[in-house]
Amino acid sequence: MNFIWALFRREVKSYFVSPLAYTAIAVFLAIQGVLFVAALGQYQSLRIQAAQNPLVQLPGAEVLIRDFFGADVLWALIMIVPLLTMRLLADERRQYTAELLLTAPMSTRQLIVGKYLGSVLVLLVMLTMALWMPMLILAWGDADPGVLLAGLLGAFLYGSFLLALGLLASSLTENPFIAAILALMFIAGVTWIGVQAANLPVIGRNLDQFTPASNLADLAQGVVDSHALVYFASVVIFVLELTARVVD
Amino acid sequence: MIEIEDLYKVYGQVQAVRGISFTVYRGEILGFLGPNGAGKSTTMKVMTGLTPPTAGRVRIAGHDVLEDPLAVRREIGYLPEHPPLYPEMTVSDYLDFAAAIRAVPRRRRRRAVESAIERCGLEEVRRRLVGNLSKGFRQRVGLAQAVIHDPRLLIFDEPTVGLDPTQVIEIRSIVRDIGRERTVILSSHVLPEVQATCHRVVIIDRGRVVAAGPIDELLEAGKGGRLVVRLRRPPAQIDDLRSLPGVGAVEGRGEGRYSFVVPGDDDVRERLVAELVARGYGPLEVRPEANSLEEVFKEVVTTERAQAEAVA
């Protein structure tokens, strides 16, 4: 546990002394902000339509929060995660510090988990900083705070899964740039498989349970069930285990 | 402390190490010598458990590197060829991190960092970022990292490569200091390095051990039986010197210097000096012609290669 803590602390410090974490967080907030403003505008015009035409039904303001933590966060994270994970293991090799870590009396799993948790903390900071936008809806709209919490949890779990994929990508090369591209490809691949699976007739609906996007969608709708929690926990553990094997 | 038995390491088509065996005893500083690409770094990586051996056994303080890697890692401090440094950390933060991942308990960590800083002369740079340090200081940080957990065995891979002469002297003195109460194995392709710091050497070439033993013995083995003599009043004729007792051939080296070939095992220096004085040549200096390790090394490596080629 001490090893993991030491690695975690070093990782977090290293994120916040370099411009990397700040850049990633800024870009994330910008993407989320733009999408949020666009959604607000759309909702506004919908409201005007609904006022003029009784046939148009106005959805509750919750829909804004759902989109914020659903489709929006999905896109923003795809862009940001590779930035956050590209250096995690690739740089250790490039700087030869891998030799320091791998000759220390700790297991590879401890190494991977420590580094991974460091990146998860940055994700948490990032999501927390974006939180004020949906909070506006809570303050001035008629939304359910439960939806916000479920959405936040969903975005966090989904982001954590993508970070694990990014870490795996980073273990495969010593060039951070290639690691970022690989991470992007992994994430795009997983997303694409999810979309394809959902489109398959009949079995699609069953397969859909196994895609990260659909699990995120449930949570974004405000439905917290143990299925999604178990799902994300197990895929993260699986990917981290794979990474540990690669490093060994 | 280290027992290596018949170690082989093959990378794809390349046989980096081909049947190396040697032992490092407790408390000694062993020089591990060889030209570049001889397999030094590979052997050291196997010792630290960074890479598994293809065949053979390596035991560190009684633990097999394959069977009990964590026990092995607890025993060793390792300075790789490139010091493993995080440029964005300060020296003391870095050493604190190194102590933590080397399993130094939290309450002893501060003391460990302080003593490593002191031992490696890092007081003035402790708050500087590692990335901004000079090469010499970075190497010292690398050494500090290796001794932070006070291991019994230290493995240094070319600790002075690429440093300027003053830095080299400083690093050597730190290494000797560290070696006072610990076992050290130090690799190098420069001989003065090993001559200056080590008790014993193992010379390898192209993946095999070609010579091993205490430095003095290796020097003895290469002894040609020559004396260097300097005279204040040399005789006009060089032939006059050939009649000296116990002396074979004589070569003039200019300015009253001569090189005497002394056949036989007897030490003729005393008789020789008495005779030189008696003849009034005014001997200023009589000393054995030192065989530098460099020559021994070259000789050993080239004869071994010639033999290998003759067999092939």
Alpha helix (H) residue ranges in chain B: 40-48, 69-75, 91-101, 106-119, 135-147, 165-179, 191-197, 215-221, 239-242, 269-278, 293-311
A151-185 tens-digit pLDDT? 888 889 889 999 999 999 999 998 999 999 999 99
Tally of domains within chain A: 1
Of B222, B171, B177, the closest CA to residue B201 belongs to B222
Each residue's pLDDT expressed in tens, for chain B with a length of 312 residues:
899 999 999 988 888 999 899 999 988 999 998 888 888 999 999 999 889 999 999 999 989 999 998 999 999 999 998 999 999 999 999 999 999 999 999 999 999 999 999 999 999 999 999 999 998 899 999 999 999 999 999 999 999 888 888 888 888 888 988 888 899 999 988 777 788 888 898 988 888 888 888 877 776 654 556 778 888 888 877 777 777 777 777 777 777 788 777 766 667 777 788 888 888 888 888 877 665 566 666 666 677 677 777 766
A198-209 tens-digit pLDDT? 666 655 555 556
Query: Contact B100/A18, CB-based, under 8 Å?
Result: no
3-state secondary structure (DSSP) of residue A118: helix
Report the alpha-carbon distance of residue B15 to residue B5 in Å, rounded: 16
Type and span of the H or E element at B231: strand B226-231
Provide the ipTM. Answer: 0.85
Q: By CA distance, what is B52's nearest residue in A? A: A248
With both helix axes pointing from N to C terminus, report the angle between A176-199 and A145-171 in degrees, rounded to the nearest 10.
Answer: 130
Please give the DSSP secondary-structure letter assigned to residue A72. Answer: I
* Domain membership of residue A40 as a residue range: 2-247
Q: Which residues of B fall below an 8 Å CB-CB distance to A? A: 48-50, 70, 73-74, 76, 78, 80-89, 93, 97-98, 100-103, 106, 145
Report chain B residues whose CB lies below 8 A from the CB of A107: 70
- Domain B2-220 CATH (choose: 3.90.550.10, 3.30.450.40, 3.40.50.300, 3.40.50.150): 3.40.50.300
- Across all residues in chain A, what is the average pLDDT? 86
Q: Show the tokens assigned to A189.
A: 């691949």
Q: Where are the domains of chain B?
A: 2-220, 224-288
| In contact, B50 and B41? CB cutoff 8 Å | no
Give A25-68 as a 3 state SS string: HHHHHHHHHHHHHHHHHHHHHHHHHHHHCCCCCCCCCHHHHHHH
pLDDT value at residue A198: 64
pLDDT value at residue A203: 55
Of A237, A247, A232, A236, the closest CA to residue A88 belongs to A247
Q: Show the tokens assigned to B294.
A: 């460099």
Query: Contact A100/B103, CB-based, under 8 Å?
Result: no
pLDDT value at residue B188: 87
Second-level CATH architecture of B224-288: 2-Layer Sandwich (3.30)
Q: What is the mean pLDDT of each run of 10 residues along chain A (248 residues)?
A: 91 91 92 90 86 79 79 83 92 91 92 95 93 85 79 88 94 93 91 71 57 71 76 91 91
Distances from the Cα of B79 to the Cα of A12, A160, B111, B298, angstroms = 25, 35, 21, 27
| In contact, B148 and B99? CB cutoff 8 Å | yes
